[in-house]
Structure 1
Amino acid sequence: MSAQLKIAVILSSTRQARLADKPAQWFLDFARAEHPEITFELVDLRDFNLPFFDEVASNAWAPSQSPEAVKWQQKIAEFDGYIFVTAEYNHSITGALKNALDQAYVEWAKKPMGAVGYGGLGAGRAIEHLRAIAVELQMVPVRNAVHIGGGDFMAISPLGANGEMSEIAGHIEGSAKGLLADIAWWGAATKAARG
């Protein structure tokens, strides 16, 4: 088992009009600069044609029959932790993300997760909901998160000024550093325990 951590940065919206690409790419670049000892990879839910969950049970209890679900499970099994870039839809995560979470179980377990959220309130409610789901999937939710809300959200959103992430980077770099420190520590701890 390699000592180097491999962390997925998961784009959790599949809408054509999504904002996710901007914060995801900014976070990926920031993470790679802050922690060159960790491998970060962008994983886009659009690249996985996941059907709605329709298995007899979670793959904790029975192997998945859907080839798309198995492909997804194999991909997320590659990682030692996850950072979800998520919007907030009606006080929760996207339906696409909930479905993707449900399509696996054993692959998520005993690994840390964190979030970069965006929306009017910085996706605070969505991230809290995501953490509760992660607990049931036996992930380790970390304390720190990046919340892009209010004026910062409107500064980068096409609904507002549609500016670049560089315009708000100074406001969110501190929380991004905290999130990355949490993921690095818990990633190393859980990887050692799994090994």
Structure 2
Amino acid sequence: MTRDHLSLAVVIGSGRKGRTGATVAQWFAGQARRRADLRTDVVDLAEFPLPGEPVAQPSADVDRLLAHLTPRLARADMFVLVTPEYNRSFPASLKAAIDWHDAEWQAKPVGFVSYGGRSGGLRAVEQLRQVFPELHAVTVRETVSFHDVWDRFDGDGNPRDPEGCNAAATALLDQLTWWARVLREGRERYPYGGAARRAAAPCLVPAAAGTA
């Protein structure tokens, strides 16, 4: 990959059998691969069944999973998370992948492609927008959302409304790419110190004598 290229990780958030996420992700990755400035990696979390609770000393099995997953996230200049909505939130597999990593997300842009029933997965996206600031990542405004997703793709995995879907994907990729270039340059010129600041103890002001 040359200096002019950006690395995009398209993360399939659902690991359930019979999921629609793989179809949605492959369509979006196809849109990204049309761009000469991007190198796209589809990261399927079904291949990385991480425990829900990170631990300081993971098992050998978890170490093997992380040895394959973590470098792919670290190489990315930007992310698109392909997520459904489960019980008004996002999948546990996606939460686990987020929580098992830290520096891999920092000072990088994150976009969302959601899908579901009437809500189109947007309630999952709204929750993810609250999660990523804690990881020092930047979420972008543009979102691609498939409402009633089961009716939106044909048997070959192509959207039935390609014009509208492709335009939405282009808008998201344009915005992500802008942020990815700016943030990559920033990381290279000024090493990001967010993790150190987050680990610092909170500043507490002692209460005055005689006050609660």
| Aligned partner letter, 2:52 | F
Within 2, Cα distance between the matches of 1:86 and 1:168?
Answer: 20
Q: How far off its partner does 1:166 sit? A: 3.2
- For structure 2, list consecutive stretches of 5 or more residues without a partner in the other structure: 189-212
Q: Deviations over 1:109-133 (max 9, x none)?
A: 0000001100111111111111111
Secondary structure of the corresponding residue to residue 6 of structure 1? strand
1:189 is the counterpart of 2:186: no
Quick check: 1:80–1:191 contact (8 Å CA) kept in 2? yes
Match of 1:28 in 2: 29
- Cα RMSD, aligned residues only: 2.1
TM-score, normalisation: structure 1: 0.86
Name the larger-Rg structure. 2
Quick check: 1:156–1:162 contact (8 Å CA) kept in 2? no
Within 2, Cα distance between the matches of 1:51 and 1:15?
Answer: 15
Quick check: 1:154–1:162 contact (8 Å CA) kept in 2? no
1:79 to 58, 76, 79: 76
Match of 2:9 in 1: 8
- For structure 1, list consecutive stretches of 5 or more residues without a partner in the other structure: 57-62
Quick check: 1:55–1:64 contact (8 Å CA) kept in 2? yes
Quick check: 2:110–2:176 contact (8 Å CA) kept in 1? yes
Within 1, Cα distance between the matches of 2:87 and 2:49?
Answer: 24
Q: How far off its partner does 1:40 sit? A: 1.0
Within 2, Cα distance between the matches of 1:10 and 1:2?
Answer: 23
Quick check: 2:54–2:99 contact (8 Å CA) kept in 1? no
Match of 2:37 in 1: 37
Quick check: 1:69–1:104 contact (8 Å CA) kept in 2? no
| Aligned partner letter, 1:95 | A
TM-score, normalisation: structure 2: 0.79
1:70-149 alignment runs, 5 A limit? 70-120=67-117, 121-149=119-147
Quick check: 1:80–1:112 contact (8 Å CA) kept in 2? yes
Cα distance change on mapping 1:78 and 1:139 into 2, 3 Å: same
| Aligned partner letter, 2:113 | V
Match of 1:155 in 2: 151
Q: How far off its partner does 1:170 sit? A: 2.3
Match of 1:59 in 2: none
Secondary structure of the corresponding residue to residue 97 of structure 2? helix
